[in-house]
A and B are shown apart, each in its own frame.
Chain A
């Protein structure tokens, strides 16, 4: 038999073998396949102390429940806390102490009971600088002793099922801060704290949540299996959840449309029509993400040269009227209409309309007014004296480079539109795409003059990181905006008992931002998630894609349960 025949026989055998396997299983594939979620990147850690990535955070929430769960009340625009490991709680000592009664019967996956010691130990780890947890900030509100943090005192064990958190002062974030994932003390206490970040226990964790980690392969994905011993709140209804790493956005979308995966988050508005035409429903959540044109309020060269000590206004963007003029020169409404359609909303400030109690709905966006913008610039001394079509002041041309993170098609398109509109008011702007890592590195170091970027606002109304004037402390205040009134609002909001008591403060805050225009707020983007119609019980929304995924089930599983119940 010739080598060619051998080869043809081999190829045809593989095709027949695999083809048969495919045909035999094709009909039942979609029914038998576990719920599959396509994710863009890998999981950085299965330990909540170190998990920074959003998906990793969501997965860790399913493995390590906290004292309280949460849901988002869309009518009020605020977080509502629900019992989880704690069956109830009460505030004491004028809202400085928070007492939790733990539910009995909660077990770790190795059979050990979950106790108050686990709560205290977890917070010890979160607060220990040697551990270096990314959630260390959440323990900063706990009471210290003799000027030093002391978690063994501030998270006090009264008995096995009662624990009390002592805070420095009343604050609206107490329940949020007390809701961090709880870790198994009996497992982690034996590991030197310095080694916790990379210890192998993080790849085979002992958990108490509705799921347990069944398999993790770098670059491939994660499989979570239902944890039969969980009472927090109960073993997951779906036997397993598969998180599959699919780095390419286009591939994720086409696989969702083809029924190869069940859930894909962050679908772009331009693909919404295509995806919803198949057996997929779209869940659009009003966004916490906004895109903005950043104007460096401070002189980056001087700031860098002095090691952050000298702060002077930026030669182009240092004046609020100039920044207002730039905003007025940009037709934000048409940008939203062209690029986002019904999945975006023009932004006026740094608070999402989602947070209804805090959002200033009386505030209107600055108008798109080219003539008004030109007049404002002229008032500020910017004139086209030499007739070259570009404004000048004291010999300096109004010309700058806008930095955009490479690979974001929407931002590149928006940048091009902005370039044309600024040209119409004789402002010269070039666009420079920068590799993503370099872009964020330079941005947080405040090295750029102008940029187009996007930020996400936190669930808790804590905006110090984005707007606090202490530039050394808050690297994400990338515009270098400094305002004493804003600082006092941020400080006052931290001392309130109820978050909603700060509504008027936050409305003032938005007024100030609108007046000062530290940046040009462009739009809020809805978060669009595609979900296969065969998946039931999802509560996808502002709290994440897999929020309360223990309720998820497949269509046929839900039918089976109903039949059993009957």
Chain B
């Protein structure tokens, strides 16, 4: 939180500067941990059919002939110049691969985020309509169970029900063959199950958090005043309770972006969604170090930016935050 008297730009600058060492630490850790994996990237990357002379040239070209600490320094230097290196698996710049794949994760994550919010607010609204009732208790316990569900299990159940039994939604991919990039309806059909898989556990967690905040707010006098004025439950909930519960809710959403990225690792694999999660898994198995680092960097930036945005929104929505 910004200190009293600090302007928003100063706050932003401070938070960004705080994020830099965090990101550098993360990348350093991943760089050295990935090098601890058994097997040499050179032997995996360079074909045995390449002549020893050519293999040596390529090792030099890709910097694989240098000691690991030197490779690290060279990588950081290249990173500062905007160069993320070359992917061994795709024989292409990492930047280009990320640029092709990252939008697919965004296409999946944004609807999932909205669904998550919508489901959470909906669940809390229902529960608070009948406080202490069976529905309230069921929702309270049910969200705990759903929050603990493994993503792959939930995805599997959704596929079984909606894809194999009911045949309503496709079980995998982003597009049907022949519709690639051309049919928004086809994309929406393919989005439904993976975005639900991502959203449902998150929504359960969010609902529990929101319910607790709402519980505090609804005891406030202005809420009681609104109710005593004869306003409907929904109006009171929307105008007084929800609005005043938003600040911690948004803060939670900021951290949830990281959760969505982590969940995408499993969800994208399960639904053959061509996004960052699958790319990272593939890169790790292929020992494609530059690509592993590229994925880590991007994921790190997304999480940090998500948290930063949540802080800013919180500060904008609730000026008291900056005064505290």
B321 on the A face (CB < 8 A) = no
Q: Which residues of B contact A248 (CB under 8 A)?
A: 272
Partner of A22, one of B48, B101, B189: B189
A137 touches B51 (CB 8 A): yes
B111-153 Cβ-contact flags toward A at 8 Å (1 or 0): 0000000110110011000000000000000000000000000
B226 on the A face (CB < 8 A) = no
Q: Which residues of A contact B38 (CB under 8 A)?
A: 435, 437-438, 441
A393 on the B face (CB < 8 A) = no
Q: Which residues of A contact B47 (CB under 8 A)?
A: 52, 134
Q: Which residues of A contact B246 (CB under 8 A)?
A: none
Report the separation of the CA atoms of residues A42 and B283 in the bound assembly, to the nearest whole angstrom: 11
Contacts A18-B185, A244-B173 hold; do A42 and B44 have CB atoms under 8 A apart? no
Report the separation of the CA atoms of residues A220 and B272 in the bound assembly, to the nearest whole angstrom: 8
B262 on the A face (CB < 8 A) = no
Partner of B181, one of A7, A215, A244, A255: A215
Contacts A2-B125, A217-B274 hold; do A50 and B91 have CB atoms under 8 A apart? yes
B169-190 Cβ-contact flags toward A at 8 Å (1 or 0): 1001111111011000110110
User: Chain B's nearest CB lies how many Å from the CB of A19?
Assistant: 6
Nearest to B162 among chain A residues (CB) is A15
Q: Which residues of B contact A437 (CB under 8 A)?
A: 38-39, 44, 285-287
Partner of A223, one of B58, B169, B174, B180: B180
Report the separation of the CA atoms of residues A240 and B180 in the bound assembly, to the nearest whole angstrom: 12
Partner of A218, one of B44, B90, B126, B234: B90
A134 touches B49 (CB 8 A): yes
Q: Which residues of B contact A215 (CB under 8 A)?
A: 180-181
Report the separation of the CA atoms of residues A137 and B125 in the bound assembly, to the nearest whole angstrom: 70
B178 touches A32 (CB 8 A): yes
A34 touches B177 (CB 8 A): yes
A17 touches B61 (CB 8 A): no
B168 touches A129 (CB 8 A): no
A476 touches B274 (CB 8 A): no
User: Chain B's nearest CB lies how many Å from the CB of A55?
Assistant: 14
Partner of A3, one of B121, B169, B192, B269: B121
Nearest to B279 among chain A residues (CB) is A219
Report the separation of the CA atoms of residues A261 and B55 in the bound assembly, to the nearest whole angstrom: 38
Q: Which residues of B contact A15 (CB under 8 A)?
A: 168
A130 on the B face (CB < 8 A) = yes
User: Chain B's nearest CB lies how many Å from the CB of A478?
Assistant: 11
A17 touches B101 (CB 8 A): no
Report the separation of the CA atoms of residues A200 and B91 in the bound assembly, to the nearest whole angstrom: 10
Nearest to A41 among chain B residues (CB) is B282
A interface bracket (residues with beta carbon within 8 Å of B): 35 or more
Within 8 A of A (CB), among B38-56: 38-40, 43-44, 47-51, 53-55
Nearest to A56 among chain B residues (CB) is B91
B43 touches A441 (CB 8 A): yes
Report the separation of the CA atoms of residues A50 and B91 in the bound assembly, to the nearest whole angstrom: 8
Report the separation of the CA atoms of residues A33 and B55 in the bound assembly, to the nearest whole angstrom: 43
Q: Which residues of B contact A476 (CB under 8 A)?
A: 48
B66 on the A face (CB < 8 A) = no
Tell me which of A3, A200, A218 has the highest count of chain B C-beta atoms within 10 A of its own C-beta.
A218
B125 touches A251 (CB 8 A): no
B97 on the A face (CB < 8 A) = yes
User: Chain B's nearest CB lies how many Å from the CB of A114?
Assistant: 24
User: Chain B's nearest CB lies how many Å from the CB of A528?
Assistant: 22
B188 touches A14 (CB 8 A): yes
Report the separation of the CA atoms of residues A140 and B49 in the bound assembly, to the nearest whole angstrom: 12
A44 on the B face (CB < 8 A) = yes
User: Chain B's nearest CB lies how many Å from the CB of A498?
Assistant: 25
Q: Which residues of A contact B35 (CB under 8 A)?
A: none
A198 touches B91 (CB 8 A): yes
Q: Which residues of B contact A32 (CB under 8 A)?
A: 178
B172 touches A251 (CB 8 A): yes
User: Chain A's nearest CB lies how many Å from the CB of B82?
Assistant: 16
B125 touches A3 (CB 8 A): yes
Nearest to B55 among chain A residues (CB) is A132
B168 touches A22 (CB 8 A): yes
A137 touches B49 (CB 8 A): yes
Point out residues on A near B: beta carbons under 8 Å: 2-4, 7, 10, 14-15, 17-19, 21-22, 29, 32-34, 36, 42, 44-45, 47, 50, 52, 129-137, 194, 197-198, 200, 202-203, 215, 217-220, 223, 240, 242, 244-248, 251, 255, 260-261, 435-438, 440-441, 444, 465, 475-476
Point out residues on B near A: beta carbons under 8 Å: 38-40, 43-44, 47-51, 53-55, 57-58, 61, 86, 89-93, 96-97, 100-101, 104, 118-119, 121-122, 125-126, 167-169, 172-178, 180-181, 185-186, 188-189, 192, 234, 269, 272, 274-275, 278-279, 282, 285-287
Ordered by A's residue number, 26 sampled pairs between the chains whose C-beta atoms are within 8 Å are A4-B122, A7-B119, A14-B188, A17-B185, A18-B169, A18-B188, A22-B167, A29-B176, A44-B89, A130-B54, A134-B50, A135-B49, A197-B91, A198-B91, A198-B93, A203-B92, A217-B101, A218-B100, A218-B274, A242-B178, A244-B173, A255-B172, A261-B177, A435-B39, A437-B287, A438-B38
Known: A130-B57, A476-B48. 17 other contacts (CB 8 A): A2-B125, A3-B125, A10-B118, A14-B188, A17-B185, A18-B185, A22-B167, A47-B91, A223-B180, A242-B177, A251-B172, A251-B272, A260-B177, A437-B38, A437-B39, A437-B285, A441-B38
